[in-house]
Structure 1
């Protein structure tokens, strides 16, 4: 079965194309909704459960996930050496780069506001927005998709626009990944932060 360890060719993908969708914090994705997600979809769902495509992302700098902390400490007892391993708290982030330099990007990443006449104004002090993210990638060679659902993140810009003469101008944001009450707890009864939606999930939803 696809949910057991073993050799599953359909789980091997390249991220040829991709998109990032944003929704209200703690929004999840049902099987019925999953089949509607494609990289070209402008929106998926309705009302408070609607996901909006953030548009063109950088092809040179794909979304990058990072973990901080989680260092292991081995504890011994007087009776036994290396009796137990404990781990420091782990925090996670994802950095992504839009190449869609419109007002919507600035209002989303930079909390920009409309100027009285033209343009938008933004502060250099970061004010995060609390949103759910769904990072979708598609292997167009085999027509297969997968994605990472982050129902509870705090998002803020991570830099000013990066200019280039031989590539698109990029606008970078970083999301801090938080635990979500919308997700089930794991086998150790710990709160969870992310959900992986595999090619098998997309196939079942089709």
Structure 2
């Protein structure tokens, strides 16, 4: 089972009667909540075993949800906007903020037309978009992977990923600006031969 990071954002209304929302990105972590009204009192229907003190002006525990409208408990991710974003269904913020899904966002995963929806932020065959396969990029091996929607390339021998182009576009064996490794510039009047300046 992979480790999950819980990110918490707090969005507070300027109207004190509405209180605050606390949003979470919990991918596959069950969310247990305590409903807390704007005055800070706990709702009797608490399902969270964690202990914390909450009020409308404090920072809240990462597993708590605040009461939005007098008893209706709601979690909310704002993604830098002034309104709630549903990371499970919003195709502009699918699974994580700013991860754009060209298909339908289902449970925080993008429907790319395959057998099941995929997480664009970590799927090496659909990294950041439905059509970006990290493992088929120029010079990349099948060990390349996706991290936060960006390909991290494992390159074939003699190749590197030194520029912004997709894949392993740099020839370490002959590139005078990347001789043997990225940003290793050969001195003037020297060539890069087999990854060595000379």
Greater relative contact order, per chain length (Cα 8 Å cut-off, separation 6+): 1
- Structure showing the higher strand proportion among its residues: 1
- Structure index of larger Rg: 2
- Structure showing the higher helix proportion among its residues: 1
TM-score range, shorter chain: under 0.3
What is the TM-score when the length of structure 1 is the normalising length?
0.21
